[in-house]
Amino acid sequence: MLPKNTANNIPQNIINKLKESKNIIILPHVSVDGDALGSSLALALALKKAGKNVRVYFEEEIPQVFTFLPGKEFILKYSNFNEDSSKMSKAETVVALDTGDLERLGNRVEIFNNSENKINIDHHPTNTYFAEINYVNPKAAATCEIVYELIKAIDIELDNDIALCLYTGILTDTGGFKFGNTTSITHLIVSELLNYQLDIPTISYRIFDAVSKEKLKLIGKAINTIELHEDGKLALATVTKKMLEETGALDEDTEGIINYVRNINGVEIAALFKEKEDLEIKVSLRSKSYADVAEIALKHNGGGHKNAAGCTINAPLGEAKKIIFDDLIKAINTHKS
Amino acid sequence: MLPKNTANNIPQNIINKLKESKNIIILPHVSVDGDALGSSLALALALKKAGKNVRVYFEEEIPQVFTFLPGKEFILKYSNFNEDSSKMSKAETVVALDTGDLERLGNRVEIFNNSENKINIDHHPTNTYFAEINYVNPKAAATCEIVYELIKAIDIELDNDIALCLYTGILTDTGGFKFGNTTSITHLIVSELLNYQLDIPTISYRIFDAVSKEKLKLIGKAINTIELHEDGKLALATVTKKMLEETGALDEDTEGIINYVRNINGVEIAALFKEKEDLEIKVSLRSKSYADVAEIALKHNGGGHKNAAGCTINAPLGEAKKIIFDDLIKAINTHKS
**B99-144 per-position pLDDT tens digit:** 999 999 999 999 999 999 999 999 999 999 999 999 999 999 999 9
Number of domains in chain A: 2
How do B308-313 and B280-287 pair as beta strands? antiparallel
* Interface residue B329 vs chain A (CB under 8 A): no
* Domain shared by B150 and B297, yes or no: no
Say if CB A168 and CB A34 are below 8 A apart.
Answer: yes
* Domain shared by A54 and A144, yes or no: yes
CA dist., res. A239 & res. A251, Å (int):
10
Task: Flag whether A121 is in a domain.
Answer: yes
Say if CB B330 and CB B316 are below 8 A apart.
Answer: no
Could you give the C-alpha distances from B263 to A289, B43, B233, in angstroms and in order? 30, 37, 11
Instruction: Collect all residues with Cβ–Cβ distance below 8 Å to B182 and sequence separation of at least 6.
Output: A194, A200, B141, B174
Task: Flag whether A170 is in a domain.
Answer: yes
Could you give the C-alpha distances from A253 to A212, A243, B280, in angstroms and in order? 9, 11, 37
The whole-number pLDDT of residue A84 equals 55
Say if CB A241 and CB A254 are below 8 A apart.
Answer: no
* Domain shared by A221 and A126, yes or no: no
* Domain shared by A187 and A278, yes or no: no
Average pLDDT over residues A177-184: 96
* Domain shared by B158 and B243, yes or no: no
- Residue that terminates a domain, selected from B154, B184, B209: B209
* Domain shared by A146 and A194, yes or no: yes
Residue whose C-alpha is closest to residue B223's, from A92, A225, A227, A328? A225
The whole-number pLDDT of residue A213 equals 96
Task: Flag whether A5 is in a domain.
Answer: no
* Interface residue A318 vs chain B (CB under 8 A): no
Task: Flag whether A325 is in a domain.
Answer: yes
Contacts with A204 from chain B: Cβ below 8 Å? 178
| Distance to chain B for A22, nearest Cα, Å | 35
Average pLDDT over residues A233-257: 96
Task: Flag whether B5 is in a domain.
Answer: no
Average pLDDT over residues B71-96: 77
* Interface residue B213 vs chain A (CB under 8 A): yes
The whole-number pLDDT of residue B195 equals 98
Instruction: Collect all residues with Cβ–Cβ distance below 8 Å to A16 and sequence separation of at least 6.
Output: none
* Domain shared by A273 and A166, yes or no: no
Give exposure, B151-183, as e/b (b: 16+ Cβ within 10 Å): bbbbebebeebbbbbbbbbbbbbbbbbbeebbb
Q: Which of B139, B172, B177, B199 to mutate to test the interface with A (most CBs of A within 10 A)?
A: B177
Query: Using only C-alpha atoms, what is the Rg of chain A?
Result: 22
* Interface residue B2 vs chain A (CB under 8 A): no
CB contact under 8 A, A187 and B205: no
CA dist., res. A243 & res. A224, Å (int):
11
How do B280-287 and B269-277 pair as beta strands? antiparallel
On the question of pLDDT at B82 being above 80, the answer is no
CB contact under 8 A, A209 and B182: no
pLDDT in tens, A208-218: 999 999 999 99
CA dist., res. B94 & res. B111, Å (int):
8
* Domain shared by B169 and B234, yes or no: no
Contacts with B235 from chain A: Cβ below 8 Å? 213
On the question of pLDDT at A294 being above 50, the answer is yes
Contacts with B180 from chain A: Cβ below 8 Å? 200-201
Q: Whole-model pTM?
A: 0.92
* Interface residue B260 vs chain A (CB under 8 A): yes
Say if CB A78 and CB A111 are below 8 A apart.
Answer: yes
Average pLDDT over residues B164-172: 98
Say if CB B127 and CB B158 are below 8 A apart.
Answer: no
DSSP string, A226-265: -EEETTTTEEEEEE-HHHHHHHT--GGGGTTHHHHHHTBT
On the question of pLDDT at B92 being above 70, the answer is yes
CB contact under 8 A, A210 and B183: no
Task: Flag whether B149 is in a domain.
Answer: yes
Measured between CA atoms, the residue of chain B closest to residue A226 is: B217
Assign residue A269 the CATH number of its domain.
3.10.310.30
Dihedral sign (CA A167, A169, A175, A178): negative
* Interface residue A55 vs chain B (CB under 8 A): no
On the question of pLDDT at B84 being above 80, the answer is no
The whole-number pLDDT of residue B1 equals 42
* Domain shared by B59 and B128, yes or no: yes
- Residue that terminates a domain, selected from A209, A224, A248: A209
pLDDT in tens, B231-244: 999 999 999 999 99
The phi and psi torsions of B82 (rounded to 5 degrees) equal -80, -20
- Residue that terminates a domain, selected from B209, B231, B259: B209
Average pLDDT over residues A65-85: 81
Domain ranges, residue A83 = 12-209
CA dist., res. B74 & res. B37, Å (int):
12
CB atoms within 10 A of CB A126: 9
* Domain shared by A185 and A276, yes or no: no
The whole-number pLDDT of residue B5 equals 45
* Interface residue B201 vs chain A (CB under 8 A): yes
CA dist., res. B60 & res. A143, Å (int):
46
On the question of pLDDT at A5 being above 50, the answer is no
Assign residue B17 the CATH number of its domain.
3.90.1640.10
* Domain shared by A219 and A266, yes or no: yes
HEC readout, B15-56: HHHHHHCCEEEEEECCCCCHHHHHHHHHHHHHHHHCCCEEEE
* Domain shared by A161 and A275, yes or no: no
Task: Flag whether A189 is in a domain.
Answer: yes
Task: Flag whether B293 is in a domain.
Answer: yes
Give the angle B115-B16-B81 at the CA atoms, nearest 5°: 15
* Interface residue A160 vs chain B (CB under 8 A): no
